[in-house]
């Protein structure tokens, strides 16, 4: 018993000395660890790999350095320090216990608390915001229960949807909203007259309902329809379909998710009012739905009930679909636009719409598209 207690104490002294040297980046004559200094990129105690999280990966790195330091000790001292379970051997059990001790103590380190918003989406008259902690907050007009809460009145300040936790992404349509959970499930609420909630009914929902989909990695809410991207690169749609925005070859609305056939290798989706864009792994962009303003980018103003390839676009890294307009950001930092131009969006001193992508000439070397979704 004495040996076990002593071993733990000596090990913890070693670990504490190591952490002291690691954090301060200094040597100490009293430190038990010698021969290396490990710095922390993010400045968060215990975050050895710099990813701003303290987890088992950091523990593994710490363990590796501690074991390296132990191996440099004289054999007798090495046994005394590293034989954590007291069985007179140094083996994987001792190393597992070392990991447990490391995780236990790094869990006690102060962690940065964040309570900021990381995404904001707006429908016609309501707002949905996602916080860093995975909670969802809503405010605005609550007609058709679009806020996802039991209260019927309009909300003038952020209100938490308590049924939603561990959310990683939100999206808003005109009067319905979607939320993607960390486990890959999709939740929907609000107006449902066009089956845009995907629950098999046309009943408006005041609290979120689960959509029968799994392994989802992306969501996009259009005006009265919804789109989801699975981890296998396939796209699924449901809801209103009068202009072919579901991409299933028909114009009939769907109460449950349907797969967009003939489309694979998709890595991002974007939904406009009644059209959809899909960015494939190969850098090409595909579109379907309404083309009345040329927003499909295929040289036509006709609607398409199936995906069509956007003309003359390659090496695209990001996309955005708005109301009758589409944008694409290429790997070379150039921005390309097509669709409605009645507000002069193209910046070309005209109000003509474009049915094929046009390069935006006024800004180059764009790194990222940042947008507020206003349906």
Using the predicted structure, report yes or no on whether residue 143 has a pLDDT greater than 70. Answer: yes
Q: For residue 20, what pLDDT is reported?
A: 36
Domain boundaries 117-374, CATH class: mainly beta
**What's the whole-model pTM score?**
0.71
Give the helix/strand (H/E) hosting 119.
strand 117-122
Average pLDDT, the chain: 82
Helix (H, G, I), strand (E, B) or coil at 2: helix
* DSSP code, position 238: E
Instruction: Return the pLDDT at 344.
Output: 80
| Residues 179-186, mean pLDDT to the nearest whole number | 96
Q: Is 104 exposed, middle or buried (0-12, 13-18, 19+ CB in 10 A)?
A: exposed
Percent residues over pLDDT 90 in the chain: 57
Confidence of residue 43 (pLDDT cuts 50, 70, 90): low
Domain limits of the chain? 2-106, 117-374
Alpha helix stretches (DSSP H) within the chain: 2-24, 56-71, 75-82, 92-106
Judge whether residue 105 has pLDDT over 80: no
């Amino acid at each position: 018993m004495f040996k076990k207690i002593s071993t733990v104490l000596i090990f913890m002294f070693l670990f504490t000395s190591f952490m002291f040297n690691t954090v301060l980046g200094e040597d100490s004559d009293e430190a038990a660890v010698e021969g290396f200094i490990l710095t922390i990129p993010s400045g968060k105690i215990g975050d050895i790999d710099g990813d701003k999280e303290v987890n088992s990966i950091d523990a593994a790195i710490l363990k590796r350095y501690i074991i390296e330091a132990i191996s440099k000790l004289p054999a007798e001292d090495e046994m005394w320090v590293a034989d954590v379970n007291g069985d007179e051997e140094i083996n994987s059990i001792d190393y597992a216990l070392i990991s447990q001790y490391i995780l236990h103590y790094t869990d006690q380190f102060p962690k940065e608390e964040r309570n900021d918003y990381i995404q904001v989406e707006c429908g016609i008259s309501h707002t949905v915001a996602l916080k860093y902690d995975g909670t969802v907050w809503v405010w605005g007009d609550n007609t058709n229960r679009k806020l996802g809460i039991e209260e019927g009145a309009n909300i003038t300040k952020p209100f938490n949807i308590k049924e939603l936790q561990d959310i990683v992404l939100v999206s808003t349509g005109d009067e319905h909203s979607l939320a993607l959970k960390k486990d890959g499930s999709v939740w929907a609420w609000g107006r449902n007259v066009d089956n845009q909630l995907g629950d098999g009914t046309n009943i408006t929902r005041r609290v979120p309902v689960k959509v029968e989909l799994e392994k989802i990695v992306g969501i996009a809410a259009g005006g009265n329809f919804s789109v989801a991207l699975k981890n296998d690169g396939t796209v699924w749609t449901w809801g209103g379909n009068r202009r072919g925005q579901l991409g299933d070859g028909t114009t009939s609305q769907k109460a449950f998710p349907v797969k967009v056939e003939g489309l694979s290798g998709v890595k991002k989706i974007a939904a406009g009012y009644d059209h959809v864009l899909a960015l494939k792994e190969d850098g090409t962009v595909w579109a379907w739905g309404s083309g009345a303003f040329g927003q499909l980018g295929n040289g036509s103003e006709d609607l398409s009930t199936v995906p069509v390839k956007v003309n003359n676009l390659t090496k695209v890294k990001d996309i955005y679909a708005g109301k009758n307009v589409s944008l694409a950001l290429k790997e070379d930092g150039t921005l390309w636009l097509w669709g409605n131009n009645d507000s002069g969006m193209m910046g070309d001193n005209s109000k003509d719409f474009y049915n094929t992508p046009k390069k935006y000439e006024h800004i180059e070397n764009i790194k990222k598209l940042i947008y507020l979704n206003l349906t």
